Structure 1
């Protein structure tokens, strides 16, 4: 394993141009870029061939060929820009790995790449969990006390963490909706009321009883009437 001192001395002897990739790396990069731009080249060729098939004069053919050359020049410029960017990036990475001093441009590039990676991670996490656990529930788990018959109803104490009910409730997860207590008072059953005579009604009843002669009753009057009928019948029988 190379020691720190030998690595430092090797970095001191290296020049910035020594960090540039070799020709084989450059050739592989050109091939990758050509593969990436192959669809654009094929599309430009198809457009040229179709336009030439519809051309009826030499001026139109010249214009079609000129458009094709312009499109190919644009594609070649894109390929060269991509090659220069990748080559510069690879060179800076090798300089940084060798411990050489790099410019501020490399530092800015590293910061941009790290920020891009961080943004992608946050985006993936937000897509996987649309409702993060950090958000507090919109309703309280324990409802506020309610008033029953003008007094505050007592609330049950929350179970302790060691009680079986606490473990059972937590194993099932939080309730979907908070418990609610009725705010309407309990209904008392209605019984029929018994009417009692007042003082005036009681006095009138006593006066009526005193007005009735002693020894006479409704049954006695019926008996007297019956005896009078019997006497009249017997007198009729004697006269006959």
Structure 2
């Protein structure tokens, strides 16, 4: 009679976490930044049909990396939760914090279930407030923990390197074009410290704009508008570089 193979609970959980992290790291990154008028979401995503960034409710948006079918199921569940709560109680009762708690329970249950594969996803739930101090950004790793983020956050791919770059470049009161330029520059950096060139066709960009007059603050930035924003930021960067060169001369 063979001896049963034994794995300690700690080792089993560590193996599940490593499995999920490797799956998430294979995905292209998503970055989220606060700017003067709201929150901008920028994802490296050439697909126009499979979105990484989506609206959940009036002031709330969702971003994710990892396996598309898994985070799409979570997105749909979040929309249903928000619609039901807003209809049953009040639209103001639907908050990013409440939605993050629901996602945390779901992810945590799946991660700790022995008979199920852990979800290979990492989520961001953000809510735009009346002012920058009221904005909320929550990051949810594969194990269902909740991390309260401020200013900027990156998930997927080489997220650690991107987050370090964002922390160095982000500041309060940035314009949308400045925040978009920083996000694109961070996504263009590879693991070896080099830089790639990302075009508007390779990016998925959306904002939660607190200044929109309607209740729904979510808006996708597409086509010519995205190209103009990227071009204006590139022109401003080149002008700053030229001024620095002249000062050195």
- Shorter-chain TM-score above 0.5: no
Q: Structure 1-normalised TM-score?
A: 0.19
Q: Which has the higher helix share?
A: 1
Q: Which has the higher contact order (CA 8 A, sep 6+)?
A: 2
Q: Which has the higher strand share?
A: 2
Q: Structure 2-normalised TM-score?
A: 0.18
| Structure of greater Rg | 1
